[in-house]
C-alpha cells in the first residue's frame, strides 16, 4: 500500500471523528453547557490516555517539567474548544468548519509574536487571501454577524495559539506527557467553570454514550491526523482534510435541515488556497 493511500485512510478516520464529535456535541448541548461537556470529555480522555500509556509503557514519561507552558497551552485549548462547542449549536456546521480552517493562517500571523519567527512575504499574502475567505464566509454586516460566528472565528485563534505552544512543548515533552496534561488540566478547568455556581449537570443515561463519544472522537481525530502527517507530507494530507467541509455540510443538511450555501464553499476554498500556498512554499524552502 503506497503512502498516499495510507494517509488517505488515516484521514478518513480523522474526518469521521471530527464529524461525530460535532454531531455528539450538538446532541448533548440540549442537556449540558460547554463547560460541562469539556469536563466529561476530559474525564473520558484521562481514562483513555492513562490506559493506553500504561499499556504502551509510556506512563513513566510523565514528569513535572514545563508545567507553566502546559497550563498556558491548555487554557488556550480549553477556551478554543468551548467556543467551538458553543458555535456548533448556534450556526450551520459548514460555517464552523470553514472558519476553523483559518487556524493555520493565525499560526502564520502569531508565530512571529510568540516564537519570534520571521513573517515571510508568502505568509503575508497567504494571510490576506485567507482573510478574504473569512469575509466571504461570514459576510460581515449587521444582518449576518452573530455571537455564533464570532465564537467560531475566535476558536480558530485559540487553536492557533495552542498549536504554537504545542510546537514549543514537542521540543522537550513526549506525546504522552502532552496528552496527559491536556486531559487532566482541562478536567480541572471544566470542574471549576462548570461548578462555580454549585450546579453541575450530569448527563442522562440517554446522553452518556454521546458524551463518551466526544471524548473518544476528539482523541481519535488528532491521532489519525498525526499519523497521516507522519507518513505523507502536509501538501498531500491537507487537501484530503478539506473534505471535512463538504462532509459536514451534507451532514448538516440531512440531520439539521441546514442550507448548502455556495458562498461558504467559495470562502472556504480561498482559505484552503491560502493554507496550501504557505505549506508548499515552506516545503520548497526546506528542500532548497
Q: How many CB atoms lie within 10 A of CB 233?
A: 15
Q: How many CB atoms lie within 10 A of CB 51?
A: 11
Give 268 or 282, the one with higher predicted confidence. Answer: 268
Q: How confident is the model at residue 263 (pLDDT cuts 50, 70, 90)?
A: confident
Residue length, the chain?
Answer: 288
Work out the average pLDDT over 183-198: 92
Q: Which residues of 240-276 are buried (b: 16+ CB within 10 A; e: fewer)?
A: bbbebbebbbebbeeeeebeebeebbebbbbbbebbb
Q: How confident is the model at residue 55 (pLDDT cuts 50, 70, 90)?
A: very high
Quick: pLDDT tens for 243-257: 888 899 999 999 999
Cβ-based burial of 188 (10 A; exposed 0-12, middle 13-18, buried ≥19):
middle
pTM, entire model: 0.89
Amino acid at each position: 500500500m503506497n503512502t498516499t493511500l495510507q494517509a488517505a485512510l488515516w484521514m478518513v478516520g480523522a474526518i469521521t471523528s471530527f464529524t461525530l464529535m460535532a454531531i455528539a456535541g450538538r446532541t448533548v448541548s440540549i442537556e449540558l453547557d460547554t463547560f460541562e461537556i469539556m469536563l466529561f470529555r476530559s474525564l473520558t480522555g484521562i481514562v483513555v490516555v492513562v490506559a493506553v500509556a500504561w499499556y504502551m509503557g509510556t506512563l513513566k514519561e510523565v514528569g513535572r517539567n514545563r508545567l507553566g507552558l502546559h497550563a498556558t497551552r491548555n487554557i488556550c485549548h480549553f477556551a478554543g474548544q468551548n467556543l467551538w462547542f458553543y458555535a456548533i449549536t448556534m450556526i450551520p456546521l459548514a460555517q464552523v468548519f470553514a472558519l476553523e480552517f483559518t487556524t493555520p493562517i493565525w499560526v502564520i500571523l502569531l508565530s512571529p509574536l510568540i516564537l519570534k519567527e520571521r513573517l515571510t512575504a508568502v505568509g503575508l499574502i497567504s494571510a490576506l487571501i485567507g482573510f478574504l475567505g473569512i469575509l466571504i464566509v461570514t459576510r460581515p454586516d449587521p444582518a449576518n454577524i452573530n455571537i455564533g460566528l464570532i465564537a467560531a472565528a475566535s476558536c480558530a485563534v485559540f487553536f492557533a495559539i495552542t498549536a504554537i505552544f504545542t510546537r514549543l512543548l514537542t521540543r522537550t515533552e513526549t506525546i504522552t506527557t502532552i496528552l496527559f496534561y491536556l486531559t487532566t488540566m482541562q478536567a480541572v478547568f471544566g470542574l471549576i467553570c462548570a461548578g462555580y455556581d454549585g450546579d453541575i449537570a450530569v448527563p442522562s443515561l440517554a446522553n452518556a454514550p454521546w458524551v463518551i463519544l466526544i471524548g473518544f472522537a476528539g482523541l481519535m481525530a488528532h491521532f489519525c491526523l498525526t499519523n497521516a502527517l507522519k507518513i505523507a507530507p502536509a501538501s498531500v494530507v491537507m487537501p484530503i482534510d478539506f473534505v471535512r467541509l463538504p462532509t459536514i455540510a451534507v451532514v448538516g443538511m440531512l440531520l439539521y435541515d441546514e442550507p448548502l450555501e455556495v458562498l461558504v464553499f467559495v470562502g472556504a476554498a480561498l482559505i484552503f488556497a491560502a493554507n496550501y500556498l504557505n505549506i508548499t512554499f515552506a516545503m520548497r524552502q526546506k528542500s532548497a
